[in-house]
Chain A
Amino acid sequence: MIEALARAGGEATLQALPEQTGLPQKDVGQALRWLKQKGWAEQQGQVLVLRDAGRAALTAPAAADEALLAALAALGSASEDELCGRALDVAGARRLLEGRSGLIEERERTTRLVALAAAGRALLAQGLAPRRALNQLNAELLRTGGWREVELRPYDVTVAGPALHPGKSHPLVRIFEQTRRVFLELGFDEIDSGYVESGFWDFDALFSPQDHPARDMQDTFYVAAPARCALPDEALVDTVARTHEDGGDTGSLGWRYRWDRELARRPVLRTHTTAATIRALADDPRAPRKVFCVGPVFRRETVDYKHLPVFHQVDGIVVDEQGSFATLLGILQAFYRKMGFERFQFRPGFFPYTEPSVEVFVWLESKQDWVEMGGAGIFRPEVTEPLGCHAPVLAWGLGLERLAMFRYGIASIGELYRARLAWLEEAALCR
């Protein structure tokens, strides 16, 4: 620029500068600011005038900044020591270049020098050949035997990797499976029945009177579609009806009301898995017989931390000439022992279809209290005799969600169903 100004006689209009200097417009602006800052030229209106300092600079040796830029342009990059070695005034240049962004870039680099110690030198003296170091062993190295020539770098084996979780069973399903295993081990046959059940099998066959509160619309889900169930054979229906009305041939007073077959045909969502066991008993009432059923049951409960409209039960019956209330307690105790409980309490319970009836409590160490687990009893003659069964029938219906809640420390039953995947991953198989 100052050369161009000198050629033009010491001054030039701003408009003419690009043409006279051969610089693009944006560089002209940059150069103007630089000239003014160094005091080599001054702007008078639209005219740029070369000053004496500018004329002197034309012949003076390159300033520190220009020298540095020239050196870096040649070298690409260089360390400060290297530049100082070329007699460049690095500190001065840095001062001049300060605030002019984009011209040079400085990076700090640390250099560490490692010297071979005496032991290393001694080892080298024995003729150690340096080997290639690798992270990953591969098929090529194994095939060629090349692995012998390389070193596999050691890992820091104390560092944790990302968490992994196996695909696994749901905690409540583990309880179902364990329950099934217990009863299979005890020699029980597994049975099943439908979710939709007739009032007949859910209630009437179990001697539950048709106005029993459990049959209220308040407590039981009635089904609109299908609209009606079929009843079993007429002789059985008739016997059950008479047993309700006046005890029939069972020696009972009965419930003394007019039994309504239409109520027996109304479909419900089964309220207990006893519907499955009573069907099994009707199919084959001969002793000895041991059957069980694990499955969901439906109650019209308001949802809270203890209740859901659907929960699971294990129901079982033992048809055995030698069966008694004492052996019923024995089976209940065997089951809960195998499920991991040690202390039991049996208290009187009251159900329409068993006599005597019992409620099972287990001691819960974490709560320091007895917790009710389920009900059991011996089927009343009003239940068994209409089915042609004359041996004692021991029966029970035990809730399973509670077992899972205690085992996995869950406060609310709903968590078992709307499960957080994180919780499922954490629920260890060993618990």
Chain B
Amino acid sequence: MPVIGIPLELLRQRVATPLAPQQLVEQLQQLGCDVEGYATLRRFGCRRCDNILEITETEHPPVLCDRCGADFRALPALLAELGTTQVIRMELLAVRPDMFEPGGLARVLRHYLGESEEPARYTLAPPRLRVRVDPSVARPESHRPFIACAVVRGITLDDDLIKIVMKLQENLHWALGRDRKHASIGVYDLATLSGTRFVYRTVGPEELRFVPLGYDLTQPASQLTPRAILAEHPKGRAYAWLLEGRARYPLLCDAAGQVLSLPPIINSEATRVTRATRNFFIDVTGTDERLINRALNILVTSLGELGGAALTLEQVTIDYEGRGVVTPDLTPQRVGLDVAAAARRIGVELDAFTLARLLRRMGHAVAPAGGSALLAGAGELMVEVPAYRNDILHPVDLIEDAAIAYGYHNIVPRLAMTMTAGSEQPLERRAAQARQALQGLGYLEVLTLLLSSEAQQYEALRLPVDAERVVIANPISHEQTIVRTSLLPGLLETFAANTDHPLPQRIFEVGKVSRCDAGRETGARELRRVAAACCGPKADYAELRSSCEALLRELGWQLVTEPDEAPCFIAGRGARAIARRGDQRQVVGLIGELHPEVLERWKLTQPAAVFELELELEGLV
């Protein structure tokens, strides 16, 4: 999870209740925030692009601007030191993007601390701009069918707030957009745009040229086709996969045909937001209309929180073929909530009034307050969920909100009273018996890694690789490419890691190995095995055979051995272990003295003998 630093000063300006540092941490934890602690950040400004760069006190000052790429080593005059700021650091709560910045977080705290019982309200100015959506964007050839837009006027945001908005945009891409796949956001300087009728359409890879963000407007070479941007621009290369296989790309233009952006890749340089920007045009494009609307709502209401009353939030009309919508749409989502069901699920006594109060503390409206009108139906509250909340899919999500407002620390834990008998897996009992027997024989239990490689599981035992192994498609390392097929390599690796330990060493493991099995639903199954090994000057077949015999005896079977030419053993010193009881006979594993080549392979300088048995064969359990 990404970690964000919320400037304390901005939070304090917006929350009236005085909170000591530790109290603030506790309140945020009770809301579900994963707080890392407080930090002091050193701040630097880039004089070329007004970007603000923040570092912790132990980090070195920045050498490059992460927005415009200015090299501060070559041009130290471009870097301005701006002092320090106190932040509270916490992990981003992916389900609550409305809490990603100080404005939205303060909004949550004001409600939670009881400073405000009213839901946050925002006045929206009627639309002056229209965006026509060309039907081609809905076709599979580009498929990014939805757009939501807003205008924000009267911005007097300082550099800090601009930084916060940029960061919020990035974090919304991460949390809601799935890295721009489902939603991508563009913010533009409205003053650079012409006309009132914009177009969201598609464009061919070579159909036009524009200067992408970060390129010099005055250089003719900066004029790039969409295809060239995908191939050359850093953002183009990073996000080209989102347009892979598309014959045409989405494009947003103003009334004069000037390109605003090539969603979800890059904005144009000509429409870039600067310190002088007073009015924003914002767009969110994507594949899910509800999602892009929520993203826009979060961005716009957060701006409203940050920018205060001076801002005007203005709607934009979106003309789809055959229907028109106006965005942003801050109409609350209405959800009916059964009071008794909520109380039952949380496990506390709750009446309608208490539940309504809890929900208001989470920013919801429960309308109208007081009297029987509170109830939407028999025993049901009508809850109005703010339009900036994206996580209320079902009434149970409101029950969680109510539980959080109630306080998990106030819920008294108790045990469910329904009586059940309980039972263990028969195989677990058998495994426990095997472990007890081997411990009694003086073997020390080890646990070894489940993921292994063909080299370890086959080659190092002089065995041919077989087709039954479970193979990982995306391994992390060449040492962990398959699920183990034998317990022996783990035991040998343990010996190899303990060559400084007194001899003889006797160890065992009870564990599972995996095999492909086309007869199973998942195509694979596990086999429970037990393996033991002895390493030392006198380690030999006889000892391991005796131990194996003792183990099988404790499990109710007799051991019979027959010669076996398994290549991991010295010729003539390996055997098949057969479990016998009356007329029943079952091959259950192998016993033997390891071949010197195997010992060499594990860099062991002492002889070793081993056995490995199935614990899970038919009839054995």
Interface residue ranges, A against B (CB under 8 Å)? 165-170, 172-173, 177, 180, 183-192, 194-198, 211, 213, 217, 221-230, 232, 247, 250-254, 256-257, 267, 269, 287-290, 296, 298, 300, 302-303, 308-310, 318, 320-327, 329-334, 345-350, 355-358, 378, 380-382, 392, 394, 416-422, 424-425
Contacts and interface: CB of A to CB of B under 8 A. Distances in A.
Given A166-B439, A196-B524, A226-B518, 10 more contacts: A167-B444, A190-B423, A190-B428, A267-B524, A298-B450, A310-B450, A322-B417, A330-B413, A356-B403, A392-B344
A329 B32 contact: no
Contacts of B346: 324-326, 356
Contacts of A419: 446-447, 494
B472 A224 contact: yes
B221 interface: no
Nearest to A377: B400
B361 interface: no
Nearest to A252: B394
Contacts of A186: 422
Contacts of A267: 522-524
Given A187-B419, A222-B472, A325-B347, A167 B438 contact: yes
Nearest to B181: A211
A327 B181 contact: no
Contact of A226 (B30, B417, B512, B522): B522
Interface stretch (B57-65, B114-122, B316-324, B404-412): B404-412
Given A326-B411, A421-B505, A194 B520 contact: yes
A334 B446 contact: no
A329 B413 contact: yes
Contacts of B93: 350
B439 A327 contact: no
Interface in B1-53: 29-32
B459 to A, nearest CB: 18
A247 B348 contact: no
Given A184-B424, A325-B347, A348-B404, A168 B444 contact: yes
B413 A355 contact: no
Interface in B181-196: 181-182
B402 to A, nearest CB: 9
B615 interface: no
A217 B441 CA distance: 45
B331 interface: no
Given A300-B474, A326-B348, A356-B403, A418 B497 contact: yes
Interface of B: 29-32, 93-95, 178, 181-182, 287-288, 290-291, 344-348, 393-397, 399-400, 403-404, 408-409, 411-425, 427-428, 432, 435, 438-451, 467, 469-476, 480, 483, 493-494, 497-498, 501, 505-507, 512, 514, 516, 518, 520-526
A7 to B, nearest CB: 66
A331 B524 CA distance: 34
B471 A223 contact: yes
Given A355-B399, A356-B400, A222 B473 contact: yes
A257 B470 contact: no
A165 B425 CA distance: 31
A421 B516 CA distance: 33
Contacts of A392: 344-345
A287 B420 CA distance: 11
A322 B253 CA distance: 59
Contact of B524 (A169, A194, A322): A194
A194 B446 CA distance: 22
Contacts of B526: 194-195
A45 B346 CA distance: 123
A200 B30 CA distance: 33
16 contacts: A173-B445, A186-B422, A222-B473, A223-B524, A230-B521, A232-B521, A250-B394, A300-B476, A309-B476, A320-B416, A327-B414, A346-B413, A347-B29, A348-B31, A357-B400, A418-B497
Given A168-B439, A226-B524, A347 B472 contact: no
Contacts of B518: 226
Contacts of A230: 521-523
Contacts of B178: 211, 213
A269 B418 CA distance: 34
A213 B520 CA distance: 28
Contacts of B483: 195-196, 269
B514 A320 contact: no
A180 B428 CA distance: 10
A184 B418 contact: no
Contact of A332 (B413, B432, B441): B413
Q: Lowest 6 A-B CB distances belong to which pairs?
A: A226-B523, A324-B347, A326-B347, A348-B32, A329-B413, A356-B400
A187 B424 CA distance: 10
Contacts of A169: 435, 439, 445
B209 to A, nearest CB: 33
Contacts of A355: 394, 396-397, 399-400
Nearest to A170: B445
A309 to B, nearest CB: 6
Contact of B409 (A228, A310, A346): A346
B433 to A, nearest CB: 13
Contact of B415 (A197, A331, A345, A416): A331
A290 B526 CA distance: 24
A223 B393 contact: no
Given A168-B444, A195-B526, A327-B414, A420 B438 contact: no
A221 B393 contact: no
B439 A256 contact: no
A288 B443 contact: no
A288 B421 CA distance: 11
A325 B396 CA distance: 12
Contact of A195 (B347, B403, B512): B512
Contacts of B422: 183-189, 290
B94 A333 contact: no
A172 B445 CA distance: 10
Nearest to A255: B393
A256 B292 CA distance: 12
A127 B514 CA distance: 80
A180 B424 contact: yes
B435 A173 contact: yes
Given A225-B469, A418-B497, A420-B497, A350 B394 contact: no
Contact of A194 (B396, B425, B522): B522
Contacts of B435: 169, 173
A421 B501 contact: yes
Contact of B416 (A197, A221, A228, A327): A327
A225 B439 contact: no
A421 B507 contact: yes
Query: Residue among A168, A195, A288, A329 with the most chain B CB within 10 A?
Result: A195
Most chain B Cβ neighbours within 10 Å, of A192, A345, A418: A418
A224 B409 contact: no
A256 B290 contact: yes
Nearest to B441: A167
